[in-house]
């Protein structure tokens, strides 16, 4: 199947007792040729201890100086929850569609979770595929989620960009190779990424971005 994932690997460098942590993208299967084609893009970080955990790497190294204070606050809050026995309850499309409503405009603030418990879920989930393929706009839904202190997440079951009418389950062509080599799949995939960025730029509240 067509998939891109993130893999954390740790390797020991015996010369100086440092470990290098590599962030690596995964593979694409090519059923037409009966073999797997591996295409990897790596970024390495040298860590001063061989016993570093993946969680410590993410906490220390996956940090960007351009992060807004809202993004940093979300990051710190999630790590705080991680150190407890608690977990965050989430609900997909909670304020977009429910048992008895569909709120396309994002103005009614309905939610099955709220209707049943009197509280909104801690995590509001949305889907980029609905934006890219169905033309949905979740801007107001995201802004409301942020206004009630919820964590906002987006998943993306991306359609195979190496086909004209394929979906996320289509395994034809060579999508990963096409993206990396700049073929037509790359142009389609890049256009989709640009569209995602355009949407994210609208996720603002009083000039502050809503972290996702």
Give the pLDDT means over successive 10-residue stretches in the chain (212 positions). 34 38 37 38 46 62 72 87 93 96 95 96 96 95 94 94 87 91 92 94 79 82
pLDDT at residue number 51:
60
CATH number of 54-201: 3.20.20.80
Q: Cα separations (Å) of 67 from 18, 55, 61, 125, 200?
A: 28, 19, 13, 22, 14
d(CA 102, CA 97): 4
Contact indicator for 23, 43 with CB cutoff of 8 Å: yes
Q: What are the boundaries of each domain within the chain?
A: 54-201
d(CA 103, CA 182): 39
pLDDT at residue number 60:
62
pLDDT at residue number 25:
35
Contact indicator for 12, 19 with CB cutoff of 8 Å: yes
d(CA 202, CA 138): 10
């Amino acid at each position: 199947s067509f998939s891109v994932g993130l893999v954390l690997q740790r390797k020991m460098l015996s010369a100086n007792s440092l470990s290098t942590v590599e962030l690596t993208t995964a593979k694409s299967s090519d059923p037409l040729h009966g073999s797997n084609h591996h295409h990897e893009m790596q970024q390495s970080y040298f860590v001063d201890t061989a016993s570093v955990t993946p969680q410590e790497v993410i906490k220390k190294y996956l940090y960007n100086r351009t992060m807004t204070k809202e993004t940093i606050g979300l990051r710190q809050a999630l790590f705080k929850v991680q150190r407890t026995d608690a977990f965050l309850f989430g609900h997909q499309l909670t304020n977009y569609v429910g048992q008895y409503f569909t709120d396309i405009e994002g103005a009614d603030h309905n939610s099955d979770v709220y209707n049943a418990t009197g509280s909104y879920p801690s995590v509001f989930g949305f889907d980029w595929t609905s934006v890219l393929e169905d033309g949905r706009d979740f801007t107001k839904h995201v802004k409301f989620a942020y206004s009630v202190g919820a964590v906002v997440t987006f998943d993306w079951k991306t359609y195979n960009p190496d086909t004209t009418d394929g979906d996320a389950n289509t395994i034809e062509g060579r999508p990963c190779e096409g993206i990396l080599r700049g073929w037509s799949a790359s142009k389609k995939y890049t256009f989709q990424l640009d569209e995602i960025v355009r949407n994210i730029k609208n996720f603002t509240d009083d000039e502050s971005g809503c972290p996702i």
